[in-house]
Amino acid sequence: MTAQDTAIRSDFPLLAANPALAYLDSAATAQKPACVLDAVRGFYERDNANPLRGLYDLSVRATDAYENARETVRSFINAESAEEIVFTRNATESLNLVAGSFGSLLTPGDEIVVTILEHHSNLLPWQQAARRAGACLRFVECTPEGEITEAAFRAALCDRTRIVAMTHISNVLGVKNDIRRFAAIAHEYGAVFVCDGAQSVPHIPVDVRVLDVDFLAFSGHKMCGPMGIGVLYGKKALLRKMPPFLFGGEMIEYVTRKDATWAELPHKFEAGTVNAAGAVGLAAAIGYYRRIGFDTIVERERRLSEAAFALLRDIPRLRLLGPADAASHHGIFTFTVDGVHPHDIAAILDSDGVCVRAGHHCAQPLMEHLGVTSTARASLAFYNTEDELIRLAESLRHVRERMGYRQ
Ligand code: 7TS
C-alpha cells in the first residue's frame, strides 16, 4: 500500500475496519467516508426539522442545509441555476421522472431512441412512456467491444425522434459514450438528450453545459454519498414545460377543491417531505471529492484499471468482455470463466474476501446482445488498491480448480 492508499482508506470506517476485505463492487454502491456519515448525523443532531414548512429558526436551518446542498450539486455539475437541480431518491427515480413527465408530452408516431447498453433504469421507463403515448422505441446497437458508433447512432434517428436516452458509462462493459457529440447530433434532429450519469458522475468530471445535455440523472450512493438521495438535472425551459410527476404536499402553489397550481422549480418535482439529511450527506461527499480532487481520482482509477486489465488478461480460461484496452474500461471489468457459473465465481471469491457482483447487472438486453446470460463483474473506485486486485486475480486463478476441474 502506498502512503496515499493508506491515507484515503483511513477516511472510510468500513474499509479501515475490514483490511482483509477487497471491495470490488463500487458500481453497485460506493463505500462512505466518515465525513459523509458525520454530515448525516450532524443534520439530525443539530438541524432536524421539516425543511420548507415551518417559520421557526430550526426549520429555517433545515431549509438552509437542504438548499445549500442543492447549490453544492449545482456547482459540481456546473448547472446554470439551482432551479435545475431536482432531488430524487436515486438515478432510477430521476429517469422515471423524465420519462413519466416529459414522456407524457409525446404523441403517437413520435420516436424514442435508447442504446442496447442501457441499465434497466434507463430502458423500462422509456418502454412504458412509448406504450402510453403510442410512440416507437428504437435501439442503437453496439460493436462487440461495446462501442456506439456515430453511424449506428445516426441510423436510429429521424425527424420524428423526440428523445434520446443514453448512458454515459456502461455499468457492464465500462465503455464511455461521447455524450457531447451524441447530444449535438440529437439536437440536430430537434430531440432532447437524456444522459444516465449513474456510472460517470462518480468517476469523471461531468459538466452539463460542456456536454450540453438536456437532462442528467445520477445517484448519491454511487459517489460516496448516502443511499436514498439522487439528482435529476434538467434545463429550466424544459422543466418548466413539464407536468409534475408526483402530487401532494410541498409541490403546490394553491389548491382548491377541484384543482391546484404548482410551486416554482424545482419544488414542483419534490412532492412530500424531502430527504434533507441525504442531500446534506451528498453535499459532504462532493466536498470530499473536491478535497481528494478529480485529478487524483481519475489518475488512481486509471492506474488501477491498467493493473486490473493486465492481471485479468493473464488468467487462463477467463474471458473479459468489452473494450480491448484498459483505459476504455473505466474501472469496470465483466468476465466469465469457462465452465463456471458466475454465481459460483462470486461465491468462491467471497470465500477469499473478494466482493464482486454476478448476474445480468440489470442489463438483460445487453447480455442477450453479447450472447451470455450472466457474468461476474469487478468494479473499482479510487479507494481501491493494487493489492486488492492481486487478491482478486489470485482467487480467480483457483476458481476452476475449486470447482473440480484439473486445469
Ligand atoms: N444507470 C446505471 C448506468 C446504473 O449502473 C445504475 C445502477 C442505475 C442507472 C440505477 O441506479 P440506482 O441508484 O437508481 O439503483 N447500477 C447498478 C449496478 O451496476 N449494480 O448494482 C446497481
Q: What is the pLDDT of residues 14-69, one digit of tens each?
A: 999 999 999 999 999 999 999 999 999 999 999 999 998 778 999 999 999 999 99
Question: Distance (Å, rounded) from C-alpha 102 to C-alpha 239?
Answer: 8
Which DSSP string corresponds to 298-358?
A: HHHHHHHHHHHHHHHHTSTTEEE-S-SSSGGGTTEEEEEETTB-HHHHHHHHHHTTEE-EE
pLDDT value of position 54:
74
Query: Please, what is the average pLDDT of the chain?
Result: 97
Residue 355 pLDDT > 90 = yes
Q: In what helix (H) or strand (E) does residue 70 lie, and over which residues does it extend? A: helix 57-77
> How far is it, in rounded angstroms, from Cα 8 to Cα 264?
41
Peptide bond into 125 cis (omega under 30): no
Percent of residues, the chain, with pLDDT higher than 70? 100
Q: Is 196 in the pocket of ligand 1 (CB under 6 A)?
A: yes
Region 346-351 average pLDDT: 98
Residue 407 clears pLDDT 90, i.e. is over it? no
| Annotation marks residue 362 as catalytic | yes
Residue closest by Cα to atom 21 of ligand 1: 28
Q: How confident is the model at residue 365 (pLDDT cuts 50, 70, 90)?
A: very high
Question: How does residue 98 score in pLDDT terms, banded at 50, 70 and 90?
Answer: very high
- 259-285 per-position pLDDT tens digit: 999 999 999 999 999 999 999 999 999
- Residue whose Cα lies nearest atom 18 of ligand 1: it is 28
Question: Strands of 357-359's sheet, edge to edge?
Answer: 318-320, 332-337, 375-379, 357-359
Distance 258 CA to ligand 1 centre (A): 39
Query: Residues 158-183: pLDDT tens digits?
Result: 999 999 999 999 999 999 999 999 99
Say how many Å lie between the CA of residue 196 and the centre of ligand 1.
9
**118 Cβ inside 6 Å of ligand 1:** no
Find out whether the beta carbon of 231 lies less than 6 Å from any atom of ligand 1.
no
Share of the chain above pLDDT 90, in %: 98
User: Which residue of the set 142, 195, 224, 362 is catalytic?
Assistant: 362
Grouping H, G, I as helix, E, B as strand and the rest as coil, residue 378 is strand
Q: Mean per-residue pLDDT for 304-310?
A: 98
Question: Is 122 near ligand 1, meaning CB less than 6 Å away?
Answer: yes
Give the distance (Å) from ligand 1 centre to CA of residue 294: 21
- 87 C-alpha vs ligand 1 centroid, how far in Å? 17
Q: For residue 150, what pLDDT is reported?
A: 98
For residue 406, name the pLDDT band (cuts at 50, 70, 90). Answer: confident
Examine the pLDDT at 246 and tell me if it is beyond 90.
yes
**172 CB near ligand 1 (under 6 Å):** no
What pLDDT is recorded for position 338? 97
Q: At what angle do helices 124-133 and 91-101 cross, to 10 degrees?
A: 10
Shortest-distance Cα residue to atom 17 of ligand 1: 28
Q: What's the pLDDT at 402?
A: 95
Ligand 1 in reach of 117 Cβ (< 6 A): no
Pairing of strands 161-167, 111-115: parallel
Q: Ligand 1 within 6 A of 9 CB?
A: no
Atom of ligand 1 nearest to the CA of 196: 1
Average of per-residue pLDDT across 226-255: 97
CA of 28 to the centre of ligand 1 (A): 6
